[in-house]
Structure 1
Amino acid sequence: MIALITMLFNDIFRNAKTFDLLSKAKIISVTPSSKFDADDRVVLNFFLFEIKENKELRDSVPLVFRSDKDAMIKDSTIRDAMIKRPPMRIDCTYLVTAWSNESNEIKVQQEHQLILEAFYWLNQFPTIPEEYLPDEVKGKLHYPIPLTVNHLNNDRNTLEFWQALGIPPRPAFYLTATIEMGMNEKTEPTYLVTKHQVNLSTDPNRRSPNPVNPEE
């Protein structure tokens, strides 16, 4: 699923026709470093650096898949069904950076323009549109894939992060895609009661076998 997300980013940017630089950028996913070299003219790098469960979206209600056929058992109408645990929702957070193989001022201008265009374009998509999903995934996801764009905090942890990579601080932002894991979880058979018939007597002379005395 993570490899699929990177591929979808590439497709999304290919459609950014109003941004000449962004629509032609190469999309990669590697660890940035001081020795990073952009083989192409401009590159957008999506570095996956954090994965964690989204507990706010955790769902304890099992998923139910109903059949189309009913059956009768005594006074009840039942329908076969399959149940399985809901998938885990996982936040995959990327550090997005822009790179250019130009030099000096042109290099800086291109990288700044590219990161700005990417930030703006991704904010147009609260979720990954279904039209970008490959056929083998369409109709199989239980939830859409939300995208959240956040700026970097200029705190000590961020500075230490750049230092660990051996890179001077540069324009960047975070992108979080919330995916689901457990699509192939095993299902368990069960049945649902869709209708139950209760027969009530309309004979006024028929008394309850255990009548209730209102004076007691």
Structure 2
Amino acid sequence: MMLEEYLEHDDRIVLPIGSTEQHGYLSVGTDAILAERVSVEAAEPLGIPVLPVLAFGVTPYFAAFPGSPSLRLETYLAVISDLLDSLTGQGFRRIAIVNGHGGNSPAAGLVRQWLAGQPATGGPEVLFHDWWNAPRTWAVVQSFETECSHGSWMENFPWTRVPGVQLPSEPKPLVPAAEIKRASAARLRELIPDGTFGGSYERPDSEVLAVWEAGVAEVRELLEKGWSDNG
């Protein structure tokens, strides 16, 4: 009933998408936790509803790590398409998808395909936003450390840590991206036995939270000004 009342004056909604997968010394829910939390913190002051995160994504390359279930790409794209159809059918005309997992990136292409079938004027809008590497957020990450990746300090927030887990004190050399991309799931497990791609495992919370603040601000700006009518 609250959402019906909301739709009388606004038609925006946020769909966070993430993954459940190994993150080295961090929670297997890291990508889902971050996508939902950054969406909520960005949208709450604007009064925009945020759906529960879609917590399973496309992560076949981590198949050799227990606790990393993956959807087939075709399944995942069908799910995103179904959700867009459902939400627009209920009256939401501006949908922001906030992504927390690189493996879900093909969904951005699906969004473009889905939009191509909509009316030329007056149709719904869908924004696809990778929160962690959006321009200003990534600039903050790079200002502290240029060599960082999956499972490193840039995902090590107070809300993604596992209590009682001791992290290595020394940074890990980055595993070459080319090796990661061509590796089978079994080979990737050999390349990264602890699950991280490289970089420092942790940095001061002042730096980590600076990244977070930039991410929240960038999502909020998207929700306010990212639409064709400029919000």
Give the TM-score of the pair, scaled to structure 1. Answer: 0.30
More strand by share: 1
Give the TM-score of the pair, scaled to structure 2. Answer: 0.28
More helix by share: 2
